[in-house]
Amino acid sequence: MLLDLFIAFFKIGAFTFGGGYAMISVIEQEVVTKKKWLSESDFVDMLGTVQSLPGPISINSAVYVGYKQKGILGAMAAAIGTALPSFVIILLLAIVFTDVQDHPTIEKIFKGIRPAVVALIVAPLVRLSQKTGITYKNAIIPIAAALLVWQFDVSPIYIIIVVALGGILFNWFKKHPK
């Protein structure tokens, strides 16, 4: 079972690009559909939990699933499985990239990858919103945030600050309507 956890999350870490949010659909496919380690409702609960914790969603998800299956050793096996491919790939890329970083073709490749990463993030969000009953009205803020980051190079930190302040003001005005 430990080896199964390691291999499953190693595959997830090795074949998913774009970070934690892009991994959500792959993690769901592996742990809910294929391995049946979690039910769909447990998966949604897991997402809520791991998003509220500090650290990458992919590692937090691996730790959550690994711990549910095999305790501390399962959490370690899944976390190492998730992180190891990225570590090795980044190490190799860093060695090669220093020589070719200013090449125009490399710059075009990275610009071409961006829309695919956005699609990898949006697809699981759409699926999860259908399962949880979230409507398109609730999706306006994340869609606007994604567009601001993607098209206008707005820092996500500014978006988080503005949305947090907006939420605070909204709740304050809701409690104090005068």
Tell me if 60 is assigned to some domain: yes
Q: What is the pLDDT of residues 62-105, one digit of tens each?
A: 999 999 999 999 999 999 999 999 899 889 988 887 888 788 88
Q: Are 78 and 65 in contact (CB under 8 A)?
A: yes
Give the per-residue pLDDT at 7: 95
Domain range holding 37?
Answer: 2-100
Tell me if 175 is assigned to some domain: no
Instruction: Give the residue from 11, 18, 54 showing the smallest Cα distance to 34.
Output: 11
Give the per-residue pLDDT at 28: 92
Q: Where are the alpha helices (DSSP H) in the chain?
A: 2-15, 20-28, 40-52, 57-100, 104-132, 140-152, 156-175
Tell me if 119 is assigned to some domain: no
Radius of gyration in angstroms for the set of CA atoms belonging to the chain, rounded to a whole number: 19
CA atoms within 13 A on the CB side of 152: 10
Tell me if 21 is assigned to some domain: yes
Tell me if 115 is assigned to some domain: no
Q: Are 18 and 121 in contact (CB under 8 A)?
A: yes
Residue ranges with strand state E in the chain: none
Tell me if 122 is assigned to some domain: no
Rounded to an integer, what is the distance from CA 37 to the centroid of its chain? Answer: 19
Q: How far apart, in whole angstroms, are the C-alpha atoms of residue 64 and residue 46?
A: 7
Give the per-residue pLDDT at 70: 96
How many domains does one find in the chain?
1
Tell me if 144 is assigned to some domain: no
Instruction: Give the residue from 49, 66, 54 showing the smallest Cα distance to 13.
Output: 66
Helix (H) or strand (E) holding 46: helix 40-52
Give the per-residue pLDDT at 27: 92
Give the per-residue pLDDT at 136: 67
Q: Are 117 and 18 in contact (CB under 8 A)?
A: yes
Give the per-residue pLDDT at 73: 97
Ranges of residues in the chain whose predicted pLDDT is under 70: 18-20, 134-136
Instruction: Give the residue from 36, 27, 12 showing the smallest Cα distance to 124.
Output: 27
